[in-house]
Amino acid sequence: MGTVEPQVTATDAQSQVTDGFHLVIDALKLNGIDTIFGLPGIPITDLTRKAQAAGMRVISFRHEQNAGNAAAIAGFLTQKPGICLTVSAPGFLNGLTALTNATTNCFPMILISGSSEREIVDLQQGDYEEMDQLAIAKPLCKAAFRVLHAEDIGVGVARAIRAAVSGRPGGVYLDLPAKLFAQTMDAAAGKNSLIKVVDPAPRQIPAQDAVQRALDLLKSAKKPLIVLGKGAAYAQADAEIRILIEKTGIPYLPMSMAKGLLPDTHALCASAARSYVLPEADVVMLAGARLNWLLSHGKGKTWGGKGPKDWGGQKFIQIDISPQEADSNVRIEAPVVGDIGSCVSALLAAINATGSGWAKPPAEWLGAIAERKSKNIAKLAETLARNPVPMNFHSALNVVRGIVKANPEAILVNEGANALDFTRSIVDMYQPRKRLDVGTWGIMGIGMGFSVAAAVVSGQPVIAIEGDSAFGFSGMEVETLCRYNLPVCVVIMNNNGVYKGTDVNPTGGPDVAPTVFVKGARYDKLMEAFGGIGVHATNPAELREAMEEAVRSRKPTLINAVIDETAGTESGRITSLNPSSEKKK
């Protein structure tokens, strides 16, 4: 029997030396990072062990992409970079999709991957899990760094944090070669080499003339509209945004993840009149929302343009932290560059400074919106009240709508096609940052990673509304839900496939159509395999009872909600983006 080696840590006053492992852990902790999402293996297994021993929360996943998605959404929810830790080559690549998706969505995260020996990688001599990870990550994220010496760990971590959260947030790759972890240095010098980042995301105050230009344009509007995007949700300037909207009386449209920034039931929320306000508005103020495909690039029929690429005549104000965003799709008359909190405060100050006071938008505009809204809301209520057999998306989501209304603090995770679109339009949100979904890419696979992180960082119940296909991308993480006993209720909208379960193989051959899954699959049994609660729900009453119990008990639960397999439409609401849709019309 050998003797047990004493643990050497930088924080231990007695120890003379520290090492790369402890410097990484101490650098993260020094910057208030207390959780790592990851998947262990050579060379980072000991890092996960030592991090846990040092009091960090280490959440292990079954696939790195899910750990990466967890880190990304933790970043969105907390404004601190979420940390994902992976092994080299394959683990790194598995995490890379999440890192790139985080960058695309402006979520701050840091992917830390162990890597093989530089000398061997660069000569391509075939090391264990050899790959030039830094080069591969670079074009796919906001910034990428490698640390070769233990004394540079403090700088490496500080640079990664600043890059992730300052300006437009995004994903950062930090490459840590295996050899680095074992490097030792004097403990006092090590401690001294660490950097506590001061003001990692400095406020960006907009220029006064830009604020005035925006305000003048807004004042000139007869039919003003504010579009709130997930950048506004991220900014945590909830009170200021609410004051701006209520003070100006301007109707607003929340993008998917900005729902709940003000309650969806707010009198000025124009969601239920979206197809009316977009083409009709004359001045549109975007706040933390890009004019990308989700807003039809600011032109075309959605905006009242004659042809698919024609300008609809709107004038745009754009509040964004990125000075390069304006004019990306259409002309922006009044860019306001800064962080949302500072920009909205500056606008409010300028409004308050105008002696004459603020005139609310014309009554005709507000009245016309209110009329469309009440008509559409009444129409929806009628659809929701129906109780078809088998259950369809509407009758199932009517239950979810009620559960979320009764539990507004719960976080809703959502992915799928029909399962996504119907949930977004039917389920009202009441609080900021409670709706997490497929984001800018419309990516499938975020479901369980987002759910784990949402539960871990918020402590609130999580409700994940998942298409049966969407769920499959991260489904193995139900074990993770059970392992950490997280208060997550997964509801699978099971319509036997991608979009619907009714496609047939035109050849009559033995293979089913590419969009069709095993009929009548029992996803609930998957949950039971790990000790969670599995429920098979075939009608709204069963679904309601199971969801209520899940939220009440906080036990990991998976409800297999059986949905009419004919109920969905191809690609949900974005059928028009299918290359063959022109021909079908």
Q: Which residues, in sequence order, are CB contacts of 144 under 8 Å at separation 6+?
A: 134, 137, 138, 172, 173, 174, 175
Tokens of 112: 């830390």
Bridge pairing between strands 315-320 and 334-337: parallel
Cβ proximity to ligand TPW, 161 vs 493, nearer residue: 493
Specify whether the CB–CB gap between 505 and 451 falls below 8 A: no
Give residue number: closest CB to ligand TPW. Answer: 467
For residue 491, give Cα distances in angstroms to 339, 391, 393: 36, 14, 12
What is the CB neighbour count within 10 angstroms for residue 542?
17
Binds 444, which of Mg ion, ligand ADP, ligand TPW, none (CB < 5 to 8 A, cut-off by type)? Answer: ligand TPW
Q: Pick between residue 127 and residue 437 the one whose CB is nearest to ligand TPW.
A: 437
- The residues that bridge with 109 in the sheet, in sequence order, are 82, 171
Residue with smaller CB distance to ligand ADP, 40 or 170: 170
> What number of other Cβ atoms are within 10 A of residue 208's Cβ?
11
Say which entry of ligand ADP, ligand TPW, Mg ion, none residue 240 contacts (CB below 5 to 8 A, set by partner kind).
Answer: none
* Minimal distance, residue 393 CB to ligand ADP, in Å: 23
Residue 432 or 445 with smaller CB distance to ligand TPW: 445
Q: How far is the CB of 440 from ligand TPW (least distance, A)?
A: 11
**CB nearer to ligand TPW: pick between 82 and 445:** 445
Among Mg ion, ligand ADP, ligand TPW, none, partner that 96 touches (CB below 5 to 8 angstroms by kind): none
CB of 424 to ligand TPW, least distance (A): 12
* Residue 579 C-beta: closest distance to ligand ADP, Å: 24
Query: Shortest distance, CB of residue 472 to Mg ion, whole angstroms?
Result: 10
Of residues 88 and 469, the one with the C-beta less far from ligand TPW: 469
Q: Judged by CB, which is closer to ligand TPW: 235, or 412?
A: 412
291 and 325 Cβ atoms separated by less than 8 Å: no
Rounded-to-5 percentages of helix, strand, coil across the chain: 45, 15, 40
State which residue, 277 or 492, has the beta carbon closest to ligand TPW.
492
User: CB of 170: closest distance to ligand TPW in angstroms?
Assistant: 19
523 sits in the region (left: phi over 0; alpha: psi -120 to 50; else beta) called alpha
Q: Which CB sits closer to ligand ADP, 183 or 440?
A: 440
CB of 258 or CB of 453, closer to ligand ADP: 258
Contact residues for ligand ADP (CB under 6 A)?
105-106, 168-169, 229-231, 234-235, 255, 257-258, 288-290, 292, 294, 320-322, 325, 339-340, 440
Residue 11's binding partner among ligand TPW, Mg ion, ligand ADP, none (Cβ under 5 to 8 angstroms by kind) is none
CB of 422 to Mg ion, least distance (A): 11
Contact (CB, 8 A) for 287 and 344: yes
Question: Shortest gap between Cβ of 343 and ligand ADP (angstroms)?
Answer: 7
The binder of 322, among ligand ADP, Mg ion, ligand TPW, none, by C-beta within 5 to 8 A per type, is ligand ADP
CA distance 150 to 17: 12
Q: Which residues contribute to the site for ligand TPW (CB under 6 A)?
A: 416-419, 442-445, 467-470, 493, 495, 498-499, 568, 572
Give the residue ranges of DSSP H helices in 79-207.
Answer: 89-105, 118-122, 133-137, 153-165, 178-182, 187-193
Taking the complex as a whole, the smallest distance from the CB of residue 418 to ligand TPW amounts, in Å, to 3
Q: What's the order of all strands across the beta sheet hosting 171-177?
A: 57-60, 35-38, 82-86, 109-115, 171-177, 143-146
Q: Pick one of Mg ion, ligand TPW, ligand ADP, none as the site partner of residue 330 (Cβ within 5 to 8 A by kind).
A: none
DSSP H helices, 386-417, are: 393-406
| Cβ neighbours, 10 Å, residue 202 | 12
For residues 125 and 89, what is the distance between their CA atoms, to the nearest angstrom?
15
Nearer to ligand TPW, 231 or 445 (CB): 445
> Hey, what are 572's tokens?
């949900």
Closest CA to 425 of 245, 175, 254: 254
Q: Which does 106 bind (CB under 5 to 8 A by kind): ligand TPW, Mg ion, ligand ADP, none?
A: ligand ADP
Query: Is the CA virtual torsion 573, 574, 580, 583 positive or negative?
Result: positive
Work out what residue 249 binds among ligand TPW, ligand ADP, Mg ion, none; the CB cut-off runs from 5 to 8 Å by kind.
Answer: none
Task: Supply the DSSP string of 527-561, one letter for each residue.
Answer: HHTTT-EEEEE-SHHHHHHHHHHHHHH---EEEEE
Least distance in angstroms from the C-beta of 424 to Mg ion: 16
Other Cβ atoms within 10 Å of 408 Cβ, number: 13
CB of 218 to Mg ion, least distance (A): 42
**Residue 523 partner contact from Mg ion, ligand TPW, ligand ADP, none using kind-dependent CB cut-offs of 5 to 8 Å:** none
Closest separation between CB of residue 499 and ligand TPW, Å? 4
Give the binding site for Mg ion (CB under 5 A). Answer: 467-468, 495
In terms of CB distance, is 225 or 464 closer to Mg ion? Answer: 464
Tell me the C-alpha distance between 39 and 84, whole Å.
8
417 binds, among ligand ADP, ligand TPW, Mg ion, none (CB under 5 to 8 A by kind): ligand TPW
Residue 488, CA distances (Å) to 7, 480, 558 in order? 36, 11, 8
